[in-house]
């Protein structure tokens, strides 16, 4: 259970960092990596916290973590301000851990300890043994824009995903808001407390349970209670292509929108695609807000395990199917994720 509470805590942390980035006139807490992708204070902070928490909680085990970020960019001479922000964010967050029933360090972590925690997430994984797979902020472009993003963690044992946890801090209660940019003027105001704009959830699933669950994030002074607010999620029952909603990535750099459109046309889809940042697309399938997620990567683009692992098990345990173009199941399936590997 501590994993789910950890992700509720991290999702709320990311909400605060994102709101600060969106309202700021500078981008000093955002940098470009060598592959031109973006990385923020939140990416490194979440990775450091998860690494520290796993090491402390599983101190009697060898902890292998496969994660997206390293300290190369953070250690550059022109990143002093960014590193300071990461250290402050990590320690501020860890100080709040007891509020969520989690342990905090006896004293604030030093810069070297935080860099070490980030660096420890350097496992290459593999089909043997136990490995944690972490994407601290999946969909960093969406995060920076004030849009959808996810915090994702999966546990893989002997090559099989056995646990998946997916934090979606901006996931709206009503699916209609998924197609709107978070900071758009047409969106409800952040202060709106009606059910229309209650946002944020943590989804989780365990292999073989046949169940996937969604825990809404609790805001303000409301008491956080797991047992009273977790809801089971299931994939959509819609199987009519004309009524089907399919989702795909926003970025053209890692998906072929034209090819997806051709596939959608040939399958008889009538609706426009729902383009969403990050692994939130898996959450949409698991919750039944969309029926199909298609991703056909551009030539040369390499998929990363941390971009899929947590979402895969959640969709599968919610009753969906995840496959690639080389092993498509017959017919149109409910809760169908199709990607080119």
In angstroms, the CA 137 to CA 150 distance is 6
Q: Is 43 a catalytic residue?
A: yes
Pull the structure tokens for residue 61.
Answer: 């085990």
68 annotated to bind ligand: yes
Segment (H or E) for 45: helix 41-57
Q: Are 11 and 217 in contact (CB under 8 A)?
A: yes
Mention every residue, 6+ apart, whose C-beta is less than 8 A from residue 309.
133, 152, 154, 156, 161, 164
Residue 29: name the closest of 43, 37, 40 by CA.
40
| Catalytic choice (43, 73, 245, 289) | 43
In angstroms, the CA 141 to CA 147 distance is 8
307 annotated to bind ligand: yes
Residue 218: name the closest of 88, 135, 103, 99 by CA.
99
147 annotated to bind ligand: no
Q: Are 154 and 307 in contact (CB under 8 A)?
A: no
| Catalytic choice (40, 140, 245, 255) | 140
Q: Angle at the Cα of 263 (from 259 to 269), degrees rounded to 5?
A: 130
In angstroms, the CA 177 to CA 33 distance is 31
In angstroms, the CA 174 to CA 178 distance is 8
Residue 152: name the closest of 334, 297, 333, 10 by CA.
10
158 annotated to bind ligand: no
Q: Are 301 and 253 in contact (CB under 8 A)?
A: yes
- Residue ranges for the known binding site are 68, 135, 138, 307
- Residue ranges for the known binding site for Mg(2+) are 68, 135, 138, 307
Active site residues: 43, 140
């Amino acid at each position: 259970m501590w994993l789910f509470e950890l992700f509720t805590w991290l999702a709320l942390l990311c909400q605060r960092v994102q709101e600060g980035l969106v309202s700021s006139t500078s981008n000093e807490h955002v940098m470009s990596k060598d592959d031109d992708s973006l990385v923020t204070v939140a990416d490194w902070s979440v990775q450091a916290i998860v690494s520290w928490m796993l090491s402390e909680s599983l101190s009697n085990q060898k902890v292998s973590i496969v994660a997206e970020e390293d300290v190369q960019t953070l250690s550059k001479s022109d990143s002093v301000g960014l590193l300071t922000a990461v250290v402050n964010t990590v320690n501020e967050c860890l100080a709040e851990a007891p509020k969520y029933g989690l342990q905090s360090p006896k004293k604030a972590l030093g810069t070297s300890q935080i860099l070490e925690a980030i660096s420890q997430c350097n496992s290459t994984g593999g089909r043997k043994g136990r490995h944690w797979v972490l994407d601290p902020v999946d969909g960093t472009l969406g995060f920076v824009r004030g849009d959808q993003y996810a915090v994702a963690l999966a546990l893989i044992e002997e090559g099989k995903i056995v646990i998946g946890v997916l934090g979606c801090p901006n996931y709206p209660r009503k699916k209609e808001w998924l197609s709107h940019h978070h900071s758009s003027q047409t969106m409800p105001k952040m202060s709106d407390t009606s059910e229309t704009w209650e946002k944020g959830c943590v989804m989780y699933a365990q292999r073989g349970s046949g169940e996937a669950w969604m825990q809404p994030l609790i805001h303000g002074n409301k008491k956080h209670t797991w047992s009273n607010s977790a809801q089971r999620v299931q994939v959509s029952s819609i199987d009519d292509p004309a009524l089907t909603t399919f989702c795909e990535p926003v970025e053209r750099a890692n998906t072929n929108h034209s090819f997806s459109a051709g596939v959608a046309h040939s399958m008889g889809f009538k609706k426009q695609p729902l383009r969403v940042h990050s692994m939130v697309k898996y959450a949409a399938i698991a919750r039944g807000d969309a029926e199909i997620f298609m991703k056909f990567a551009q030539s040369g683009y390499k998929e990363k395990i941390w971009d899929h692992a947590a979402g895969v098990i959640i969709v599968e345990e919610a009753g969906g199917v995840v496959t690639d173009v080389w092993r498509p199941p017959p017919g149109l399936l409910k809760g169908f994720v199709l990607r080119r590997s």
